Amino acid sequence: MKVLVTGGAGFIGLHFVEKLLKEKMEVVIVDNLSSGIKERVPKSAAFYEIDIENLSIENIFAFEKPDYVVHLAAQVSVPFSMKNPYADCLANIAGTVNLLQNCVKYNVKKFIFASSAAVYGEPAYLPIDEDHPQHPISFYSLSKQTSEHYIKLYTKHFGLDHSILRFANVYGPGQNAHGEAGVISIFLNSIFAQTPPIIYGGEQTRDFVYVKDVADGLFSSLHNGRNCTFNLSTNTETKINELLILMLKKVNTNLNPVIKPQREGDIGQSRLDNTKALTELQWIPKYTLDRGLQETIDMYQ
């Protein structure tokens, strides 16, 4: 079984590739290394440095003939998307369509897409289930929502199977501080540099899901959840203030945070209902925040 992973040199990608290799799958990685790290890519995976929006990606599909495509590559920065909507659109929408076109042409069995809780916007109710209304508030989240629509139409018109996975706030070893949900890595950088962490507001809540659980969810979706959309989350809310206290306690240090006003456009509360993934993907997140943070801190140290 051959799996082509776009963004396989990135944070989530590397954990997922590790899982695939452990399960004895053949892995092909496509990544432009804009934030991915080539040195971390396992030698046993084939690697192509290329933009997903590049039309010559077809040569890779023709040569490798993957059974599955797991699409993780994306421009992941919300602020970048607000300053550069065209560049965001090219990478996240045109890039996705380029992949879908090749999946149809080269008879890929299934397309799995890394979407985001960001598609929901400000929650109307909690926990947010997959049918919750969608009000993207950034070009990044709009690009995820638009890609979801493209994927569903490719299924309808060309019979390409898919699963769409909407990740909550993913964290874990190897995450850089610039991604969609880098608050834990931002805090870690401050804590280990002994500089006061900055908190914007602090009463907001987030649903933190550990990266190895996300890798397991992606793996389950290869064979489950045909043509469905799932939240990958822990269905747990943690306040940013509480998160920092927990992290400071774990490293046994005492730093007073700098409190700044909550940023405009920052969502107040977030908790995603994961019932559908638990039942239909047969996926169980194994890591509590406490355990995931411990592993992340141990690796960081």
Q: Which residues are near ligand NAD by CB under 6 A?
A: 7, 9-13, 31-36, 51-53, 72-76, 91, 95, 114, 116, 167, 169-170, 179-181
140 among known catalytic residues: yes
Closer to ligand NAD by CB, 25 or 184: give it: 184
| Minimum CB distance to ligand NAD, residue 178 (Å) | 8
User: 168 is written with which tokens?
Assistant: 């909550």
CB of 301 to ligand NAD, least distance (A): 21
Task: Give DSSP secondary structure letters for the chain.
Answer: -EEEEETTTSHHHHHHHHHHHHTT-EEEEEE--SS--GGGS-TTSEEEE--TT-TTHHHHHHHH--SEEEE------HHHHHH-HHHHHIIIIIHHHHHHHHHHHTT-SEEEEEEEGGGG-S-SSSSB-TTS-----SHHHHHHHHHHHHHHHHHHHH--EEEEEEE-EEE-TT--TTSTTTHHHHHHHHHHHT-PPEEESS--EE-EEEHHHHHHHHHHHHHS-TTEEEEES-S--EEHHHHHHHHHHHTT---PPEEEPPPTT--S---B--HHHHHHS-------HHHHHHHHHHHH-
Minimum distance of ligand NAD from residue 209's CB (angstroms):
8
60 or 191: CB nearest ligand NAD: 60
Query: Taking the complex as a whole, how short is the minimal distance between the CB of residue 261 and ligand NAD, in angstroms?
Result: 24
Catalytic residue among 68, 120, 140, 287: 140
Q: Which amino acid is at 54?
A: N
Write out the two tokens for 41: 């890519």
CB-based closest residue to ligand NAD: 10
Least distance from ligand NAD to the Cβ atom of residue 32, Å: 4
The answer to whether the CB of 270 falls within 8 A of the CB of 211 is no
Closest approach, Cβ 234 to ligand NAD, in A, equals 13
Residue whose CB is less far from ligand NAD, 239 or 255: 239
Torsion of CA 164, 166, 171, 176, to 10 degrees: 80
Residue nearer to ligand NAD on the CB measure, 103 or 114? 114
Judged by beta carbon, residue 199 or residue 211, the one nearer ligand NAD is 211
| Whole-number Å distance between alpha carbons of 41 and 64 | 18
Q: Which is nearer to ligand NAD, 69 or 157 (CB)?
A: 69
Active site residues: 140
